[in-house]
Amino acid sequence: MNIIFIEPSFPYNQREFVRGLHDAGARVIGIGERPQEHLADDVKGWLSHYVQVKSVVHEPSLLKAVQHVQSLVYVDRLEATVEAHIMAAAHVREAAGIPGTSVHTAYLCRDKPAMKEVLREAGIPCAQSTRADDPQTARDFASRIGFPLIIKPPAGAGASGTWKVRDDRQLEQVLIESGVVDGQEVAIEEFIEGHEGYLDTLTINGEVAHEFITHYYPNVLTAMRERWISPQMVTTNRIEAPGYNEVRQMARDVIRVLDIGTSATHMEWFAGPKGLKFSEIGCRPPGVGQWDVYNTANEFDLYLEWASALAHGHPHRQPSRRYAAGMIALRPSCDGRITGYSGLEAIQHHYGDCIVASHLPPVGSPTQPVEGGYMANAWMRLRHPDYDMLRQIMNAIGETVKVHAA
């Protein structure tokens, strides 16, 4: 099977998808922005052919590259795993007559107001929402729904460019900052109170082959704005517990309504006083290296599972569910340069056997803003057979390890 993979080298973990395809027996053709001589040697070895383009999201250039490949071999699949590449890949896939996620599905998975409208019509509970490119539309929605509200780009990912608006004064300020007063379009949503988590799947022909549930502590919007917090994402190994039945069924309903065939998905949800609410979906794997967390928790290779789904139409093996696993972000005390760490020896002594990976930038490294995300600065990944014990260990790390900066 010949599979085109878009941007095989950046970000770094893109190479794992290429490796998975190669290990599954696919012939992998890369299309990317860097010169072939700048590819890592292992990536070069996994690729049978490579085409350089100026931009993988410039659809005419991408289509030309794909058609060039099609002149050489029959192309069975065209795949992208980065959110910013999904729509360009769908348009080119359709223009080139290659099977895979449709433009319609990709659009609904990327445009939040359209996504929620379709899902609400299908009976899936979502926050009330609309799109606005003028101040009056935003004001009318606020008047009808009430505060607080969430305002963000229609196609944004995570908490990037997101505001929580608590009153009319703040609304007017955000309408300026977001560009709505100049005609920039935003998504406006009812704020949903509750615990936040996500459910990731590998779906084959519309059926869930693998699924994983992860909890945020605290919710993302808080985590991305409060420096003192060492936020955690923790994946449960208790997915068969009855308490997860509703969210697992909701995920399957979303996949059916959005007509997702063979693809990775990433779905966010809230559970609180108003019940379970669907938040949003990406028709691609999660970010922040989360598949590596699933791999260490389940003692298998999700990149190979994804590749097997594409190349063979079935999973390679089942996850062990032996461990709960998670990541904790460790924030520097201020912006500047890292001057040192404290608490690491104690944590290594008590919990070293639970730590499976870590990133501790050396002294002198520049810090990154808190808004940069969970992997912007120092972090650790851990696993433990007991979910509750893992949470206690991660809390102890957050309280003990300090990243000093000046």
CA separation for the pair 270, 266 (Å, rounded): 14
Residue with structure tokens 């608006």?
165
Say which CATH number the domain at 147 has: 3.30.1490.20
In the listed set 190, 211, 238, which residue is the last one of a domain according to the structure? 190
Do 143 and 83 have their domain in common? no
* CATH number, position 226: 3.30.470.20
* Residue 234 covered by a domain: yes
Same-domain pairing of 291 and 373: yes
pLDDT of residue 160: 59
Q: Where are the beta strands (DSSP E) in 273-397?
A: 275-282, 324-330, 338-342, 355-359, 378-384
Question: pLDDT by residue for the chain (406 residues), tens digit each?
Answer: 999 999 999 998 999 999 999 999 999 999 999 999 999 999 999 999 999 999 999 999 999 999 999 999 999 999 999 999 999 999 999 999 999 999 999 999 999 899 999 999 999 999 999 999 999 999 999 999 999 999 988 865 555 578 999 999 999 999 999 999 999 999 999 999 999 999 999 999 999 999 999 999 999 999 988 999 999 999 999 999 999 999 999 999 999 999 999 999 999 999 999 999 999 999 999 999 999 999 999 999 999 999 999 999 999 999 999 999 999 999 999 999 999 999 999 999 999 999 999 999 999 999 999 989 999 999 999 999 999 999 999 999 999 999 999 9
What's the CATH code of the domain at 56? Answer: 3.40.50.20
157-179 burial: b if 16+ Cβ within 10 Å, else e: bbbeebbbbeeeebbeebbeebe
Q: How far is CA 67 from the centre of its chain?
A: 29
Q: What is the pLDDT of residue 333?
A: 93
Structure tokens given for 269: 């949800």
Characterize the bridge pairing of strands 324-330 and 378-384.
antiparallel
250's CB contacts (< 8 A; 6+ apart) are 124, 125, 269, 276, 278
One-letter amino acid at 63 equals L
Same domain for 156 and 260, yes or no, is: no
From CA 284, how far away is CA 79, in angstroms rounded? 10
d(CA 165, CA 148): 5
Reading the block at residue 358, the tokens are 């870590």
Name the phi and psi angles at 64, rounded to 5. Answer: -60, -40
Counting the structural domains of the chain, the total is 3
Q: How far apart are CA 193 and CA 172, in angstroms?
A: 23
Boundary-marking domain end, from 155, 190, 225 = 190
Instruction: List 235's β-bridge partners, or say none.
Output: 214, 325
Q: Indicate if 134 and 81 belong to the same structural domain.
A: no
Do both 74 and 138 map to the same domain? no
Query: Are residues 199 and 223 both part of a single domain?
Result: yes
Q: Is 89 exposed, middle or buried (0-12, 13-18, 19+ CB in 10 A)?
A: buried
Q: Is residue 375 part of a domain?
A: yes
* Residue 105 placed within a domain: no
Q: Are residues 182 and 205 in the same domain?
A: no
Size of the chain, expressed as the number of residues it contains = 406
Query: How far is the C-alpha of 333 from the C-alpha of 367, rounded, in Å?
Result: 10
Q: Is residue 119 part of a domain?
A: no
The string of DSSP codes covering 270-284 is EEETTEEEEEEEESS
204 with 256, same domain?
A: yes
Domain termination residue (choose one: 190, 208, 226): 190
Regarding whether 157 and 53 lie in a shared domain, the answer is no
Same domain for 145 and 168: yes
Residue 61 counted as domain residue: yes
What strands lie across the sheet with 163-165, from one edge to the other? Answer: 129-132, 186-190, 149-152, 163-165
CA distances from 135 to 141, 161, 176 (A): 10, 18, 9
Q: What are phi and psi of 349, to 5 degrees?
A: -65, -45
Whether 32 and 88 map to the same domain: the answer is yes
Same domain for 163 and 93: no
Q: In one letter, which amino acid is 285? A: P
Indicate whether 118 belongs to any domain: no
Q: Does the residue 120 lie in any domain?
A: no
Judge whether 59 lies within some domain. yes
What domain range includes position 308? 195-405
Q: Single out the residue of 153, 105, 120, 152 nearest to residue 281, CA to CA.
A: 105
